[in-house]
């Protein structure tokens, strides 16, 4: 408890799965959480659930691929809360296709826009806020699919490999400014994207050493660790 006491955290893509679990955990740890997604009804339901658990949380409807909507989100948070301590960039989609079947617009462009480009545009809006504060932690959701090779799903794997490299580059670039960048690379995790027993699960599960998929809450714990390390760093400095 209290690992994010008083911190302001923005979670992009949190109406279900890993993002939802992270928003709930951040709130449980004392953060003021603003989370997003495109589905308003679902977002409002999640908001209610987290408030019922005692969290301070707000849903903000925002398509992460639409820059004006992301700008409206960041303006809203800064106006209302005055700062952003943690950003979890988590919006993602997976559209199955073998290489020859990749539709460049409906699959490749859409996947890159949602998984990668949205992270860039949101960070471009949030980073100036963090630079002014001289502190902040950004956690970008990548995937084990961005590290190891698996058959097919090239748009997805490429987007996630790019996130890993981009995040490392940003970590190096802004290290001296007090802003930390990390990516998390979940393995098979059960969510709306991957349901137990679906084709993706059947294809990937045999290669998972533990023999089971993760629950979103397990990934959220890793995200919390990376978000809350700000506190440790300030302790080290003193
Ligand atoms: N499940 C896995 O095995 C696994 C493994 C490695 C990495 N990941 C990554 O983990 C992240 C979360 O996935 P998940 O497994 O939790 O799946 P999920 O339950 O389908 O969650 C995806 C979230 O992304 C949001 N989203 C998608 N497009 C968006 C957009 N344009 N703007 C704003 N939000 C958007 C969705 O909200 P709305 O639909 O309301 O917009 C939803 O909240 C993704 O980046 C995924 O690639 C998942």
pLDDT, one tens digit per residue, over 66-79 is 999 999 999 999 99
Is it the case that residue 235 has pLDDT exceeding 80?
no
Residues whose CB falls within 8 Å of the CB of residue 68, separated by 6 or more in sequence, listed in order:
none
Tell me what pLDDT residue 236 has: 52
* pLDDT at 232 (0 to 100): 47
Q: How far is the CA of 94 from the centre of ligand 1 (A)?
A: 8
pLDDT tens digits, one per residue of 122-181: 999 999 999 999 999 999 999 999 999 988 899 999 999 999 999 999 999 999 999 999
Is any atom of ligand 1 closer than 6 Å to the C-beta of 37? yes
The number of the ligand 1 atom at minimal distance from the alpha carbon of 142 is 7
Q: For 182-207, what is each residue's pLDDT tens digit?
A: 999 999 999 999 999 999 999 999 99
Q: What is the mean pLDDT of the chain?
A: 95
C-alpha 148/C-alpha 155 separation (Å) is 14
Is 93 close to ligand 1, i.e. is its CB under 6 Å away? Answer: yes
Structure-block tokens of residue 22: 């992270």
pLDDT at 230 exceeding the cut of 90 = no
Domain boundaries of the chain, sorted by first residue? 8-237
In this prediction, residue 92 carries a pLDDT of 98
Ligand 1 pocket mutation, candidates 12, 19, 110, criterion most atoms within 8 A of CB? 19
Whether 143 and 155 have beta carbons less than 8 Å apart is answered as: no
Ligand 1 pocket check for 17: Cβ under 6 Å: yes
Burial of 151 (0-12, 13-18, 19+ CB in 10 A): exposed
Ligand 1, from 17, 69, 197: best to mutate by most atoms within 8 Å of Cβ? 17
Distance, CA 51 to ligand 1 centroid (Å)?
Answer: 22
Q: What are phi and psi of 226, to 5 degrees?
A: -70, -35
Q: How far is the CA of 100 from the centre of ligand 1 (A)?
A: 25
- Decide: residue 117, CB within 10 A, 0-12 exposed, 13-18 middle, 19+ buried: middle
One of 2.40.50.100, 3.40.50.300, 1.10.10.10, 3.40.50.720 is the CATH number of 8-237, namely 3.40.50.720
Q: Is the CB of 194 under 6 A from ligand 1?
A: yes
> Percentages helix, strand, coil for the chain, rounded to the nearest 5?
55, 15, 30
Confidence of residue 231 (pLDDT cuts 50, 70, 90): very low
Alpha-carbon gap, residue 155 to 146, rounded angstroms: 10
Most ligand 1 atoms within 8 A of CB, residue of 10, 16, 199 to mutate: 16
For residue 233, pLDDT over 60 is answered with no
Give the full edge-to-edge strand order of the sheet including 136-141.
56-61, 32-37, 8-12, 86-89, 136-141, 179-184
* Residue 13 beta carbon below 6 angstroms from any ligand 1 atom: yes
Residue 220 in tokens: 């959220």
Looking at the annotation, which residues are catalytic? 156
- Res 238 pLDDT > 60: no
In terms of DSSP H, where are the helices of the chain? 17-28, 40-52, 67-81, 110-112, 118-133, 154-174, 199-204, 216-237
Average of per-residue pLDDT across 71-99: 97
Residue 50, pLDDT > 60, answer yes
Please determine, for residue 44, whether its predicted confidence score (pLDDT) is greater than 60: yes
Nearest-Å Rg of the Cα atoms of the chain is 17
């Amino acid at each position: 408890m209290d690992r994010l006491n008083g911190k302001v955290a923005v979670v992009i893509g949190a109406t279900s799965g890993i993002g939802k679990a992270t928003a709930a955990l951040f709130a449980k740890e004392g953060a003021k959480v603003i989370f997003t997604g495109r589905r308003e009804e679902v977002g409002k339901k999640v908001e209610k659930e987290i408030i019922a658990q005692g969290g301070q949380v707000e849903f903000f409807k925002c398509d992460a691929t639409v820059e004006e909507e992301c700008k409206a989100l960041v303006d809203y948070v800064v106006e209302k809360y005055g700062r952003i301590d943690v950003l979890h960039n988590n919006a993602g989609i997976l559209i199955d296709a073998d290489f020859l079947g990749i539709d460049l617009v409906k699959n490749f462009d859409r996947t890159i826009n949602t998984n990668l480009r949205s992270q860039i545009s949101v960070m471009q809006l949030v980073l100036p806020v963090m630079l002014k504060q001289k502190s902040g932690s950004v956690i970008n959701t990548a995937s084990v699919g961005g590290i190891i090779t698996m058959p097919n799903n090239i748009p997805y794997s490429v987007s996630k490999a790019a996130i890993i490299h981009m995040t490392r580059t940003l970590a190096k670039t802004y290290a001296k400014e007090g802003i930390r960048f990390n990516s998390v690379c979940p393995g098979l995790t059960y969510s709306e994207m991957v349901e137990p027993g679906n084709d993706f699960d059947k294809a990937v599960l045999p290669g998972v050493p533990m023999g089971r998929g993760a629950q979103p809450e397990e990934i959220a714990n890793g995200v919390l660790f990376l978000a809350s390390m700000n506190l440790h760093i300030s302790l080290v400095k003193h």
